[in-house]
Chains A and B, each alone.
Chain A
Amino acid sequence: MTKGKTYSTGRVRGIVSNLVTVAIEGPVGQNEICFIQHGDTPLMAEVIRVEGRRAFVQVFESTRGLQPGMEVTFAGHLLEATLGPGILSRNYDGLMHDLNTMTGVFLKPGEYTSALDLERQWAFEPLAEAGQTVQAGSWLGEVDENGIAHKIMVPFQLEGTYELKSVAASGEYRVEDTIATLTDEQGSEVSVSMRQKFPVKKAVRAYRDKPRPYRLLETGVRTIDTLNPIVEGGTGFIPGPFGSGKTVLQQAISRQAEADVVIIAACGERANEVVDLFAEFPELDDPWTGRKLMERTTIIANTSNMPVAAREASVYTAMTIAEYYRSMGLKVLLLADSTSRWAQALREMSNRLEELPGPDAFPMDLSAIISNFYSRAGTVNLHNGQTGSITFIGTVSPAGGNLKEPVTESTKKVARCFYALSQQRADSKRYPAIDPIESYSKYLEYPELQRTLNQEIDPDWTDKVNQLRNRLIQGKEAAEQINILGDDGVSIDTHLTFWRSEVIDEIILQQNAFDDVDARTPMARQKYMADKILEVVKTPLDFERYEEVNPYFKRVINALKQMNYSEFESEKFNRHLGELKDILGERERELEA
């Protein structure tokens, strides 16, 4: 990192797709960044293997027109993210270049824009005083970034402890201005600005420890929050065949989740889906602060037609940004859609390097790479006693919808929440198509989470969740019996068991992501509905003929659905609640008669 040092150079010798071999003069490091001079344009690349005097580099751009003999300059550092105020509400490519400041309609190879606005003035307030002992991640001051107290920290790359020699007074500064001077143990000085760089493939470790997560992260999606909750600092993944609603679900979570900062890595997916975010997020309100959603969001867009090598980089860039904000004591939600595309990028490269393939031609270390990445999420206790968290949810696009494939299996080993999207549910338009029985949240087994759920929602909450789940399982069994034996071959009780589980399915599990009211259900309403549904399914009902059961429950479900579509506890809501009471009353009266 020292300035003024000269770095190695080399020349292009061979090209296959985006893999270029370089004859090197001087030392180079694994994963070091280099630039291939293509006419006037330097193209960024990363060393991925060295053999003798030859380096294999993956180019983050199209290699069209490259020729043997072209000059290569090594940069002396790994792929880095640029961190500082002004990241929120920006749209980056996978290498953290600002997409909005690029010129022209089409991407130009080698157009590398700055991640931060270098001219903008930020109102800096110091938080530390000269003479204090500080270390990587210590808060020196803060600026207001879209209503968030953005902490200016001691750069993560600094090792050991330092004495804070001076810190700037309150005032307006640009990101490159010096705002503090540190003295290390040998007495040499280090100046610190509001901007720092950090290699994306390394985890930021500027925290004291990483406790087990224990608090619910509310998403407003009932089938998640009620049945398989994710937690602050938790990890989850959503595998599903195409058309099962992965992206719609993930976008709903990104809009509604109770997070301070949301980082979205659109990794190798459709450009129009990112355009949805670009179009909607500046308009939509953050349900938690009332500000615009875009103000808390950063989008890393490496869509499927953008260079493949940058796809892998994009998820790491996103994670590093998430770690940066976590170190400020914030709740960060990180979403990656889709991690399978990243794995495919690894496969393409491994294949070109002629490595011996693992299962389905993926690289042998795929599983290790995935678990290493997921492990960077989590809740942390910072050195100053504050806590921050990264909740990570990735989607997986299994080939052929078959969950027995390497990316799904590797992810299942590390992610604690599993939201299996079912083709069958999607086909019958039961959205979100999360299979309630296949899916799980390991966090429900955590006593510390059970404690907070029972404290914050309802003393019997975890018990009620179990009751709902058991009724869904019983309903599935009843459906199978009816299918095998026929409607008239089973008892009326079996029909009731089935239809009671249908009530849970239709009213709690299914949710219309495009309806203004139904799209997001706050926890208090989820509790109310869970209680209401349990009351409905526990009401003893009397039927003489099985033919009466289906039309009756259709009416029950219809009344409850109208409630889901109405503002909570509004006049309309209560009217449908009254209807429901009447419908239930009909059968109870018959019981008395």
Chain B
Amino acid sequence: MTKKAFQRIYTQVDQITKATCTVRAEGVGYEELAVVNGRLAQVVKIQEQEITLQVFGGTEGVPTNAEVVFLGRPPALKVGDTLAGRFFNAYGDPIDQGPPIDGEEREIGGPAVNPVRRKQPSELIATGIAGIDLNNTLVTGQKIPFFADPDQPYNQVMATVALRAKADRIVLGGMGLTNDDYLYFRQVFEQAGALHRIVSFINTTEDPPVERLLVPDMALTAAEYFAVDKNENVLVLLTDMTLYADALSIVSNRMDQIPSKDSMPGSLYSDLARIYEKAVQFAEGGTITIIAVTTLSGGDITHAIPDNTGYITEGQLFLRRDTDIGKVIVDPFRSLSRLKQLVIGKKTREDHPQVMNAAVRLYADAANARTKLENGFELTDYDERALAFAKAYADQLLAIDVNMDTQDMLDTTWKLFANHFSLEEVGIKKELTDRFWPENVQA
């Protein structure tokens, strides 16, 4: 990677596909950047003197005598405190008419953290949304996506979570964002007076899809700067990772790789893991938390993208419209936060784990009762009570417009238990019902 005193210009392009071109050159390093007729490109294959370049902006109009200049370095981002409050494109160039960033240049997509240098995540992130804080508590250093169909308000919920979470810094990586959603994020952050805490890397639907491949690495390089150099708590928002994976499949397809499930490259798991595993709790106190969006097609989580994501991330959050109450709720069955065990009952009140589980179990009983009802069977008294509980539970706790602290969530749940069930039906440890069952509290 030595810098050359002069840069040679190559003009012999042998092969051009929609996303790549092949040029004959010497002394080129793997993953090095190049400029092809003014468009940024990266080395993805070297075979003797044949260098295959992935052209981020697409190859339309690239001629066989295009000028190819190698830059002698992999993709990098200039980092510094002045990143805050700024908007960049996928290459890390400002798109907000502001001045260029003056700072140290860092390679993006750098090496992994040594696992023994990580700390166990232990700080909970309060969002005020009970479907998250009560049932699927988030923890700093966690990585978790929203699994959502395109018509669901995932970007709004994500923006709410980001603003309520007490993060020092928020890094937004937008991939294939519609222009409307991009402006929505800008406006919400501006209104909340939070712009100075936010760094954004934006690739919209108007930009070439292959450029998206740079966005997560850019966002995470900025995040690592704040978390490692400044010991800050950084929250990274990545939306939409499905469009990122689609871009991966475009490139692998152009390179004639054998596709595996759902036309995705065989390396999809490793490619996604490389990004999500940047979430970390550092020993010195800095953290990177990743909240992402993976859009689904008709709720299908067996598709290769959500499937591989689910195996990598520490849980997933599902949004669902509850027709009983006419609101969007965080689905308690399919949602899961794997790291919640590290904080619930420890950083929150001790009855939290059992209350959470009991409520979800009773909500499941209501779902069974509903199936019975749909099949035309008679309901028992218990079924009726379970259904009434489920409606109140969804309305007062699961709905995404809820905003309260964890203590109130727990108290509300105990009240709902007592309103609808007997002590035995709830099935919680006696030590806890003695202290928290509403009648016992008053006594």
Task: Report A's interface with B, CB cutoff 8 A.
Answer: 13-17, 21, 39, 62-68, 91, 99-100, 102, 104-109, 241-243, 268, 270-272, 274-276, 278-279, 301, 303-306, 308, 338, 341, 344-345, 347-348, 351-352, 354, 357, 360-361, 397, 399-402, 427-429, 486-489, 514, 547, 550-551, 554-555, 557-558, 561-562, 565
Cβ contact within 8 Å between B273 and A304: yes
Closest to A426 in B: B336
Tell whether B110 is near chain A: CB-to-CB under 8 Å: yes
Q: Contacting A303 at CB < 8 Å: which of B31, B32, B112, B269?
A: B112
Q: Identify the closest chain A residue to B315 (Cβ).
A: A243
Choice from A68, A305, A551, A558 contacting B46 with Cβ under 8 Å = A68
Complex Cα spacing A338 to B315, Å? 17
B118 touches A271 (CB 8 A): yes
Residue of B nearest to A108 (CB): B111
Query: Measured between alpha carbons, how far is A70 from B307 in the docked complex, in Å?
Result: 39
Is the pair A361, B260 in contact by a Cβ cutoff of 8 Å? Answer: yes
Q: Which residues of B are found within 8 Å of A357, using beta-carbon distances?
A: 258
Q: A242-B310, A243-B336, A427-B333 are in contact. Are A271 and B270 (CB under 8 A)?
A: no
Give CA–CA (A570, B269) in the complex, Å.
Answer: 49
From A14, A105, A555, B114 is in contact (CB under 8 Å) with A105
> Which of B114, B119, B302 is in CB contact (< 8 Å) with A401?
B302
Q: Which residue from chain A places its CB closest to the CB of B425 in the assembled complex?
A: A554
Tell which of B85-93, B353-361, B401-409 binds the partner.
Answer: B353-361
Cα-based distance from A105 to B115 in the complex (angstroms):
9
Q: Check B141–A272 contact: CB distance below 8 A.
A: yes
- A–B complex contacts, Cβ < 8 Å, 23 sampled: A16-B46, A65-B32, A66-B30, A67-B46, A107-B114, A242-B310, A268-B269, A271-B112, A272-B121, A279-B120, A305-B273, A308-B267, A308-B270, A344-B269, A347-B266, A351-B257, A399-B304, A427-B364, A429-B360, A486-B377, A554-B425, A554-B427, A558-B424
Q: Mark B338-360, 1 if CB is under 8 A from A, else 0.
A: 11010000000000010001001
Known contacts A304-B269, A555-B424; can you find 12 more A-B pairs with CB under 8 A? A64-B30, A68-B26, A105-B113, A105-B117, A106-B110, A109-B111, A271-B113, A272-B121, A276-B120, A303-B277, A348-B270, A360-B260
Q: B314 on the interface (CB 8 Å rule)? A: yes
The one of B27, B273, B312 that contacts A67, using a Cβ cutoff of 8 Å: B27
Residues of A within 8 A of B29 (CB): 64-67
Which A residues lie within 8 Å of B303 (CB)?
400
Contact in complex: B302, A402 (CB < 8 Å): yes
State the 3 A-B residue pairs at the shortest beta-carbon distance, nearest first.
A400-B302, A304-B273, A305-B277
On chain A, the residues within 8 Å of B141 by CB distance are 272
Question: Which residue of B115, B228, B280, B353 contacts A274 across the interface (Cβ within 8 Å)?
Answer: B115
Q: Please, which residues of chain B bring their CB within 8 A of the CB of A17?
A: 267
Interface residues of B in 45-82 (CB under 8 A from A): 45-49, 74
Contact B118–A272 (Cβ < 8 Å) = yes
CA gap between A341 and B274 in the complex, in Å: 14
In Å, the complex CA distance between A171 and B18 comes to 70
| Closest CB in chain A relative to B181 CB, distance in Å | 28
CA distance A39 to B258 in the complex (A): 33
A586 nearest CB across to chain B (Å): 13
Chain B residues numbered 174-229 whose CB sits less than 8 Å from any CB in chain A: 228
Kindly list chain B residues whose C-beta atoms are within 8 Å of the C-beta of A399. Answer: 261, 302, 304, 307-308
B430 at the interface (CB under 8 A from A): yes
Compute how far the CA of A63 lies from the CA of B163 in the bound complex, rounded to whole angstroms. Answer: 39
User: B5 at the A/B interface (Cβ < 8 Å)?
Assistant: no
Q: Is B38's beta carbon under 8 Å from chain A? A: no
Q: Which residues of A contact B336 (CB under 8 A)?
A: 243
A344–B266 contact, CB under 8 A? Answer: yes
* Pairwise interchain contact A15-B45, C-beta atoms closer than 8 A: yes
Asked whether any CB of chain A lies closer than 8 Å to the CB of B311, the reply is yes
In the complex, how many residues of chain B place their beta carbon closer than 8 angstroms to a beta carbon of chain A? 84
Cβ of B7 under 8 Å from chain A: no
Chain B 255-309 residues near chain A, CB threshold 8 A? 257-261, 266-267, 269-270, 273-274, 277-280, 282-283, 301-304, 307-308
Residues of the B chain whose Cβ atoms lie less than 8 Å from the Cβ of A16: 44-46
CB-CB under 8 A from A63, the residues of chain B are 30-31
Instruction: Point out the residues of chain A lying under 8 angstroms from B310, CB to CB.
Output: 241-243
- In the bound complex, residues from chain B placing their C-beta under 8 Å from that of A91 are 115-116
**In the assembled complex, B442 has its CB within 8 A of some CB on chain A:** no
Q: In the complex, what's the smallest C-beta–C-beta distance from B333 to chain A, in angstroms?
A: 5
- Whether B323 is near chain A, meaning CB under 8 Å from some CB there, is no
On whether A429 and B302 interact (CB within 8 A), knowing A15-B45, A16-B45, A275-B118, the answer reads no
- Contact assessment for B377 and A487 in the assembled complex, using a CB-CB cutoff below 8 Å: yes
Q: In the complex, what residue of chain B is closest to A546 when comparing beta carbons?
A: B380
Q: Which single residue of chain A is at the shortest CB-CB distance from B116?
A: A99
Complexed CA–CA distance, A557 and B32 (Å)? 64
| CB atoms of B47 and A14 under 8 A apart | yes
Distance A128 CA – B49 CA, assembled complex (angstroms): 61
Instruction: Say yes or no for B104: interface residue by CB 8 A criterion.
Output: no
Q: How far, in whole Å, are A241 and B267 apart by their CA atoms in the complex? A: 19
Partner of B307, one of A345, A400, A486, A555: A400
A residues less than 8 Å from B261 (CB atoms): 360-361, 399-400
Q: Which of B107, B112, B304, B315 is close to A305, meaning CB atoms less than 8 Å apart?
A: B112
Contact status B270-A304, CB under 8 Å: yes
Docked complex Cα distance between A554 and B421 (Å): 12
On whether the beta carbons of B118 and A486 are closer than 8 Å, the reply is: no
Given the known inter-chain contacts A270-B312, A341-B269, A427-B334, please indicate yes or no for A107 contacting B111, CB distance below 8 A.
Answer: yes
Residue on A nearest B430 in the bound complex, by CB: A562
- Which residues of A lie under 8 Å from residue B26 when comparing CB positions? 68
Q: Which residue of A lies closest to B353 (CB)?
A: A514
Chain B residues with CB under 8 Å of A348's CB are: 266-267, 270
Docked pose: A276 CA to B120 CA in angstroms: 6
Query: Are B111 and A106 in contact, CB atoms less than 8 angstroms apart?
Result: yes
How near does chain A come to B291, taking the closest CB pair, in angstroms?
15
In the complex, what distance in Å separates the CA atom of A558 from the CA atom of B31?
61
Rounded to whole angstroms, the CA-CA distance of A555 and B53 in the bound complex is 69
B429 in the interface (beta carbon within 8 A): yes
Bound: A347/B260 CA distance, A: 9
Partner of B277 from the list A68, A99, A271, A428 (CB cut-off 8 Å) is A271
Residues in B with CB closer than 8 Å to A360 are: 260-261
Assess whether A561 is in contact with B113, with CB atoms less than 8 Å apart.
no
| CB-CB nearest in chain B for A111 | B114
Residues of B within 8 A of A427 (CB): 333-334, 364
What's the Cα separation between A16 and B357 when bound, in Å? 49
- The residues of B that contact A65 with a CB separation of less than 8 Å are 1, 29-32, 74
Q: Which A residues touch B324, using CB under 8 A? A: none
Q: Are A68 and B378 in contact (CB under 8 A)?
A: no
Across the interface, do B378 and A487 meet the contact criterion of CB distance under 8 Å? yes
CA gap between A397 and B309 in the complex, in Å = 12
- Counting chain A CB atoms within 10 Å of each CB, which of B116, B141, B304, B430 scores highest? B116
B416 within 8 A of A: no
**Which of A102, A301, A399, A489 has the largest number of chain B CB atoms within 10 A?**
A399
Chain B residues with CB under 8 A of A268 = 269-270, 273
Decide if A278 touches B116 in the complex (CB within 8 Å): yes
Contact B111 A304 (CB under 8 A): no
User: Of B46, B339, B430, which is within 8 A of A15 by CB?
Assistant: B46
Complex contact B228–A99 (CB within 8 A):
no
Question: How far does the Cβ of B23 sit from chain A's closest Cβ, in whole Å?
Answer: 14
Please tell me if B321 contacts chain A, counting CB pairs below 8 Å.
Answer: no
Question: Nearest-CB distance from A281 to chain B (Å)?
Answer: 12
Q: Which residues of B have CB within 8 Å of A486?
A: 372, 375, 377-378
A352 to B266, CA, bound (A): 10
CB of B96 within 8 Å of the partner chain? no
Residues on A with beta carbons closer than 8 Å to the beta carbon of B372: 486-487
> In the complex, what distance in Å separates the CA atom of A14 from the CA atom of B28?
11
Q: Contact between A561 and B114 (Cβ–Cβ < 8 Å)?
A: no
* Minimum Cβ distance to chain B for residue A22 (Å): 12
- The answer for the CA separation of A15 and B425 in the assembled complex, in Å, is 64
In the assembly, what is the distance between CA of A352 and CA of B336, in Å? Answer: 35
What residue of chain B has the Cβ atom nearest to residue A351's Cβ?
B266
Q: Is the CB of A14 within 8 A of B115?
A: no
A contact residues around B377 at 8 Å (CB) = 486-489
